[in-house]
Chains A and B, each alone.
Chain A
Amino acid sequence: MTATMTPLEAISEKLGTTEPWVETGSVHWLSPADLKVRNLAKAMNELLARFITITAYQLPGEQGFRLEYHWDLDGQLLGFPFLLVGNSPEVAKIESIYDLCEAVDWIEREIHEGFGIHFSGRAYEPLLLRQGDTMGVNLRDAVATSKETK
């Protein structure tokens, strides 16, 4: 990182990508195709960015899920989307960053319970559900009732 670099350029350099940042609303998005979530977490730690949350979205049909990881860097809101293709437990998974970023603990557990997405490399204890309850009952479309209000 050089003295003239902006924080966003420093992140791109740390991640080794030339992909452009896209600003929509108040979020600066970076979505290189080959981005690994653990490399991202390490880069954010080095830049002393503050982890905020992960937002999970279920995509239509069997397209799977989109996970948006958010960090704050000196008041700038950063977003990094990851696609999980397919809805089955075998493919709806991503590496956990809990060992790199303690702050993700509860949100990874909540998404695991709400969407049935597996964060590999970590142990779970129930967060919202009780022991033995079914995963993915809160927010997966398969069990949701009619979404449109009459």
Chain B
Amino acid sequence: MSYKIPMGPYHPALEEPYKLDLICEGETVQDAKLHIGFNFRGIEHLAETRNYIQVIALMERVCGICSNIHTLTLCQAMEGLTGLTPPPRALYIRTIMAELERLHSHVLWAGIAAKLMGFKTMFMTCFELREKVMDVLQAISGNRVNYSMNRIGGVNRDIDDPNAILKMVEALELEMARTVIPIFTTSSTARSRCAGIGVLTTEKAVSCGVVGPVARASGLAQDMRRAAPYAAYREMEFDVPVQPDGDVRARLLVRALEIMESCKILRQALAKLPPGEIHTEGEKFSFMTGTATSRVEAPRGEVMYSVSWKEGSRNPARVHVRTPTFAVMPAIRWMVVGQRLADTPLIQASIDPCYSCTDR
């Protein structure tokens, strides 16, 4: 006999509102339906009522983890409409901020995944490391969550002492290489809880149009930093980790390897940080009528902004945001089918879902 288990909107997997109706046969999940929109905020509509300065602050609040990525993508689109080109130093600082944010996001996720695996020591280790990343972000921007770094034509704050930041990054890299990476890649707990669980095949990943680490863990080598470089990524050398298995362990491995790649990018960007201005100084600008699109590789995958403007207006005519979780979350349905009910919280967490982004 099949029966339905409503998981959510408030549930043990993650403390954010979305609902998964699981149709089970005994302990095995036969089908699932997802429901979102419990905290839908109407930010796209709100953006049409904000001017070009206010809209940056608004879009920074689309996501609590990758707030910097949203302002970066928005500013890149607005630069397309104004013709402003950020100076080289600003592009490097944007790259540094984006990679620090990726580190912050991946380590936070690693901690939550460890908790759901029943590996609470690892949870505490990850959160301690995350604090260190946030210390670096605070040292640069003065803020711990919404950094207010991006502006049209550059960034708001400079990195005065790259060597000091480099030392913090090296300490972080050492700690991650010593603790987080070996435990996630070799521990029997991680393997037994994650291997073969929540598989998303390459074919299904293509069909669902998933992005980011979830796509890369299903054998798809897609990364905007490589495919369509922005900021200073064209000048960075890094690998795009890809795993073929499509299970929770593959998602774990991809993110663990990406932590090391982020550190590699950070070291390069800090070492090569060019001198000069951090934004277009004193240059007047105006918006031209039209639509501009920008794409960025956020920690969870590709973010895309389409921004439309009418000449002479202070406000955007339309801002459309396609967040990575919006693209990835529907695939949960295919990951949980055939799995044990007890594994579904970890499977859901394995996509690193952001409900804030989804209910933007």
Contacts and interface: CB of A to CB of B under 8 A. Distances in A.
Q: Do A and B bind each other?
A: yes
Interface of A: 24-27, 48, 50-53, 55-57, 68, 70, 72, 74-77, 79, 101-103, 105-107, 114, 125-130, 138-139, 144-149
B322 interface: yes
Nearest to A103: B209
A52 B208 CA distance: 10
Contact of B322 (A53, A74, A79, A130): A53
A102 B208 contact: yes
A21 to B, nearest CB: 15
B37 A147 contact: no
Interface string B108-147: 0000000000000000000000000000000000000000
Contacts of A77: 228, 293, 295
Given A126-B37, A127-B36, A149-B315, 20 more contacts: A24-B290, A50-B209, A52-B302, A53-B304, A53-B327, A55-B318, A70-B304, A72-B222, A77-B295, A103-B209, A103-B330, A105-B330, A106-B329, A107-B322, A126-B35, A128-B37, A147-B315, A149-B49, A149-B50, A149-B314
Contacts of B36: 127-128
A55 B40 contact: no
Contacts of A48: 206
Nearest to A104: B209
B291 to A, nearest CB: 8
Contacts of B293: 25-27, 70, 77, 79
B54 A149 contact: yes
Given A103-B208, A144-B45, A149-B49, A57 B318 contact: yes
Interface size class of B (residues with CB under 8 A): 35 or more
A26 B48 contact: no
Instruction: Choose among B209, B224, B292, B322 the residue with the greatest number of A CB atoms under 10 Å from its CB.
Output: B209
B243 interface: no
A2 B167 CA distance: 53
Interface in B227-257: 227-228
Contact of A102 (B35, B207, B227, B295): B207
B316 to A, nearest CB: 9
Given A52-B302, A68-B306, A105-B330, A129 B314 contact: no
5 pairs of A and B residues whose beta carbons are closest in the complex: A103-B209, A75-B227, A128-B37, A53-B322, A55-B320
B228 A52 contact: no
Nearest to A27: B293
